[in-house]
């Protein structure tokens, strides 16, 4: 069903693709965004902070998840920064998935990014790193269910980096994560955002 939100499965708003600059200290690329997809005009401030402040990817990050990929800035940047890695880019929004696949091809990493709907990721896939600007606006319970599902699919040494606006509940989300057994470090707090580093659940 379409509700006019960026997390609709199939946005009803007319398509109007436009170029967006992803300009970071280590790389600059031009990707394509569109209406009906999160942050259709520019790289989101929180996403930019996440891409600037998350600890560098290493060769241990063999399988990476961009949870809620939108038009794909995180997936594309991760693929360029980690040429050894396989990236999964997951989103409920079909237009977002198409944009991510096209953007991955544009920056020549299409062979290492698998774009999928949430149920399109095989059950046995495990992630060394999750990088996400998660969909806070889907509501607290839905967000908790979403994070629980994907964080449980990290490798034992896996780590997630999530950017969350403070006024949208970054601190209560951190408390909830700790309450269900995920260790959380608040690694950056800037411009109204926090970056949470989340470890795999301690008893798994």
Binding site for ligand SAM (CB under 6 A): 6-7, 38-39, 44, 47, 68-70, 73-74, 90-93, 96, 118, 133, 135, 138, 146
Given a contact cutoff of 8 angstroms between Cβ atoms, the answer to whether 190 and 160 are in contact is: no
Given a contact cutoff of 8 angstroms between Cβ atoms, the answer to whether 201 and 180 are in contact is: yes
Find all residues with CB under 8 Å of 42, minimum gap 6, and list them. 20, 21, 33
Compute φ and ψ for 74, nearest 5 degrees: -70, -45
Given a contact cutoff of 8 angstroms between Cβ atoms, the answer to whether 139 and 153 are in contact is: no
Query: How far, in Å, CA of 14 to CA of 45, rounded?
Result: 25
- Least distance from ligand SAM to the Cβ atom of residue 74, Å: 5
Q: Which is nearer to ligand SAM, 112 or 161 (CB)?
A: 161
Q: Which is nearer to ligand SAM, 31 or 174 (CB)?
A: 31
- Least distance from ligand SAM to the Cβ atom of residue 34, Å: 11
- Least distance from ligand SAM to the Cβ atom of residue 92, Å: 4
Per the listing, tokens 């908790």 go with 144
Given a contact cutoff of 8 angstroms between Cβ atoms, the answer to whether 144 and 198 are in contact is: no
Given a contact cutoff of 8 angstroms between Cβ atoms, the answer to whether 85 and 104 are in contact is: no
Q: Which is nearer to ligand SAM, 44 or 181 (CB)?
A: 44
- Least distance from ligand SAM to the Cβ atom of residue 91, Å: 5
Q: Which is nearer to ligand SAM, 5 or 183 (CB)?
A: 5
- Least distance from ligand SAM to the Cβ atom of residue 109, Å: 16
Q: Which is nearer to ligand SAM, 47 or 188 (CB)?
A: 47
Per the listing, tokens 């499965």 go with 9
């Amino acid at each position: 069903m379409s509700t006019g939100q960026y997390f609709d499965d199939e946005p009803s708003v007319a398509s109007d693709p436009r170029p967006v600059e992803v300009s970071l200290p280590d790389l600059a690329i031009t990707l394509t965004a569109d209406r009906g997809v999160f942050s259709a005009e520019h790289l989101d401030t929180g996403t930019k902070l996440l891409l600037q402040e998350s600890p560098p990817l290493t060769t241990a990050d063999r399988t990476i998840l961009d949870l809620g990929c939108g038009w794909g800035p995180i997936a594309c940047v991760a693929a360029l920064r980690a040429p050894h890695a396989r990236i999964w880019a997951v989103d409920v929004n079909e237009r977002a998935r198409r944009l991510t696949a096209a953007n991955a091809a544009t920056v020549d990493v299409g062979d290492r990014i698998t774009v999928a709907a949430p149920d399109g990721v095989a059950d046995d896939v495990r992630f060394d790193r999750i990088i996400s600007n998660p969909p806070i606006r889907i509501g607290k319970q839905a967000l908790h269910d979403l994070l629980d599902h994907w964080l449980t699919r990290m490798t034992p040494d896996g780590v997630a980096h999530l950017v969350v606006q403070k006024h949208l509940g970054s601190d209560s989300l951190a408390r909830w994560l700790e309450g269900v057994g995920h260790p959380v470090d608040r690694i950056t707090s800037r411009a109204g955002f926090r970056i949470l580093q989340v470890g795999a659940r301690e008893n798994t």
